[in-house]
Chain A
């Protein structure tokens, strides 16, 4: 399902805007189908196998995947670095929170609204992003992630005046007979993830997707061949914010809180998205999903690794991140690709370009 493309930076001469897709080895294709079917079967069966608490963790991995996928559109495919997507996630969570708690909306109806509101905020942030690039964009988004909880603290009052919104148990009750609440939440999140994945896949393979990549690889060249830079960048920003917003909305159902009590939480979220994307494999379709699962599992295990020394858990998590980047510089998907191409005796596909700040150096 994933596509690879040539790295613009390593190529001399005029930039190609069409992704080069090497013919897929039938063995590889077969392998992919098998892996895909097994993964899908596992994903569908999981909530019947695991207890509720475990389903909650899996659902958290799924919404993390949705947010990471959104960030991947922006950063992986379009080359705009954001370390503030936690703010859009928060916008989504609070939109759902306010609509459900204060307006009495049915929860499910708030998911698209949350995505839309996040997209609008993304659009507003995306406009300055036309002029603010690379490093500066990263910093402006960082500021956003720090600002968001402060706004929440100032303007949102839940019970006891705490900036914390919580759905009642009936607000997030399963609408499907035979499914427990945790199973329902899981399937709803999975459904959104599937929709978002299909959307990403068709977007990346469309004209607009090629324009996104062209802007990432060779901005000026893309402009000279008629790509509307402003449109591409701002729209990508908005779409990616919408993904994060949808993820935030789902978190309101799964975590059962939307809060602004901890001033660094949305910054930490932003880092989580970035890490999930890079660990899984930037600029790939399935990378963020794999990365999100890896991050959630990693976090749970580093929390319990050293008995009696929980204070070390962030350090272990940090060390694990560095180790992964070391061993799998192209993320898990990149590593797997390398492995399969070695098995099938084919030359490895050209490396996936990941881009950042120094590309658009000051």
Chain B
């Protein structure tokens, strides 16, 4: 190619750059303006709002609260989308039957918008930045029930800069209680470290000199179990016999189980999730190894335990919700409401009410409505403060005697757990013993590195 056209091209481009740069007249509503700085309760709030790019003390305009979410709706983890069916049904019920939720004397309808992120945190971040935009209250109040640890970590910083709340991150990771990110809070899932602390307490009472084999996923989820358990058994007679890890997404953990079974440990902490969990139970039985087994709370579902079948018999787990499969709750008012209303207001045609994650989603919707009602003003700051100021709040399918208590120093909601023992013939977990309560102690029983990543 000759020189002249290229030269001309460069000249034209340069001219265009100058023109473009000089007439920067993008719609000003999209540029973030500084400001805010107002504190809610006469400066008593311990949520720092001095750097908010959007004023969190501004009340919601009109009468609609707009929530946005992002979770997998296609790809291999698409099944997680059923959580949303639960909370969408709850919000629809509130909108229809009560005309919305009342905050400081005024009624607001709840509107939700969500996008598919295929469990890819980069996509979660894109989705949320798309949905939140500049953070104007006209388009969004806050993020709600974004699924997955990584996805929530990927969005919390940007949301924090705009002081847009990330309500009820759907994960049990203790990282979602990090005090340096007050605009993000986890859902009612018992933190993973609380789960293993409870198991350690159980062992102390029932098998004080247990040798425990541990199966864990090779990521932060598994690390929370391993490190949490190691801290929980410090100074007890309980020993870890061996730890085997498997990579996320694995469906066959036969080799890991053979290795663990060879230790002849008398207890087994199966930290696997998805298909790895029932497979670990089946392979343990196949190896002729029948230790006292604890399965991750993420495994306590109809589908996964159904896959394990008889191999899951007598396996322990912990929960804080009523199990829709357990006939014990048939006459419980909360369960009755769930059974009729979730079906009536379901966003999908064939909602599976016995699916635990639907019941979980329903409960988060109910709890959030409680938090909104308790807020002193229809502002982001006031609702966030309400979330951090729950004192014995009961909602949805939380078990009788279980409630949510939070404070500025305690950002974990699901700190009380009930043991269940799987009855394979009946196909559900039966309650075992009395609940273990770690209210306000999650931060102290969780190794610091599991919360912040450093330490």
Contact = CB atoms under 8 A, between A and B. Distances in A.
13 contacts: A33-B5, A50-B26, A154-B218, A159-B452, A162-B150, A163-B220, A168-B157, A259-B121, A259-B150, A261-B248, A262-B119, A262-B150, A264-B76
Contacts of B81: 310
A16 B75 CA distance: 47
B346 interface: no
Interface stretch (B16-24, B100-108, B312-320, B394-402): B16-24
Contacts of A36: 9
Contacts of A164: 121, 150, 153-154
Contact of B247 (A157, A163, A263): A263
B391 interface: no
Contacts of B25: 48
Task: Kindly list the 5 A-B residue pairs having the minimum CB-CB distance in the complex, ordered from nearest.
Answer: A160-B175, A310-B73, A261-B150, A161-B220, A159-B453
A97 B212 CA distance: 37
Interface stretch (A133-141, A211-219, A250-258, A326-334): A250-258
A123 B263 CA distance: 44
B74 A314 contact: yes
Instruction: For chain A, give the interface size range.
Output: 35 or more
A153 B450 contact: no
Nearest to A53: B130
Nearest to B72: A310
Given A160-B149, A161-B449, A162-B175, A44 B122 contact: no
Nearest to A252: B122
B453 A157 contact: yes
B408 to A, nearest CB: 20
A154 B219 CA distance: 7
Contact of B154 (A168, A180, A257): A257
Contacts of B261: none
A56 interface: yes
A162 B175 CA distance: 9
Contact of A161 (B9, B119, B224): B224
Nearest to B174: A160
Contact of B20 (A45, A53, A168, A310): A45
B158 interface: yes
B173 interface: yes
A41 interface: yes
B20 A48 contact: yes
Interface string B1-31: 1000100110011001100110111110011
B120 interface: yes
Contacts of B95: none
A303 interface: yes
A233 to B, nearest CB: 28
B34 interface: no
A348 interface: no
A41 B16 CA distance: 6
A160 B452 contact: yes
Given A29-B5, A162-B175, A261-B150, A49 B13 contact: no
Q: From A44, A56, A257, name the one whose CB has the most chain B CB atoms within 10 angstroms.
A: A257
Contacts of B173: 160, 162
A22 interface: no
Nearest to B15: A41
A133 to B, nearest CB: 30
Contacts of A160: 149, 153, 173-176, 178, 220, 450-453
Contacts of B1: 1
A261 B118 CA distance: 12
B405 to A, nearest CB: 23
Contacts of A163: 219-220
B426 to A, nearest CB: 32
B175 A159 contact: yes
Nearest to B17: A44
Interface in A52-82: 52-53, 56-57, 60
Contacts of B116: 303, 310, 313
A37 interface: yes
A162 B149 contact: yes
Contacts of B23: 48
Interface string B167-181: 000000111101000
Interface of B: 1, 5, 8-9, 12-13, 16-17, 20-21, 23-27, 30-32, 73-76, 78, 81, 115-116, 119-122, 125-126, 129-130, 133-134, 148-150, 153-154, 157-158, 161, 173-176, 178, 218-220, 223-224, 247-249, 449-453
Contacts of B115: 303
A180 B25 CA distance: 12
B74 A51 contact: no
Contact of B450 (A49, A161, A178, A313): A161
Contacts of B248: 153, 261, 263
A159 B178 contact: yes
Contacts of B74: 310-314
A51 B17 CA distance: 19
A314 B72 CA distance: 12
A356 interface: no
A33 B247 contact: no
B453 A161 contact: yes
Interface in A234-262: 251, 255-257, 259, 261-262
A166 B129 contact: no
A225 interface: no
Nearest to B30: A51
Given A45-B20, A160-B173, 7 more contacts: A51-B27, A160-B450, A162-B219, A163-B219, A180-B26, A263-B248, A303-B116
A271 to B, nearest CB: 13
Contacts of A159: 153, 175, 178, 452-453
Given A56-B129, A162-B149, A312-B74, A49 B26 contact: yes
B180 to A, nearest CB: 9
A362 interface: no
A191 B56 CA distance: 37
Nearest to A30: B5
Contacts of B130: 53, 56
A4 interface: no
B9 A37 contact: yes
B206 to A, nearest CB: 30
A265 B148 CA distance: 15
Nearest to A178: B24
Contact of A52 (B16, B30, B119, B153): B30
A256 B220 contact: no
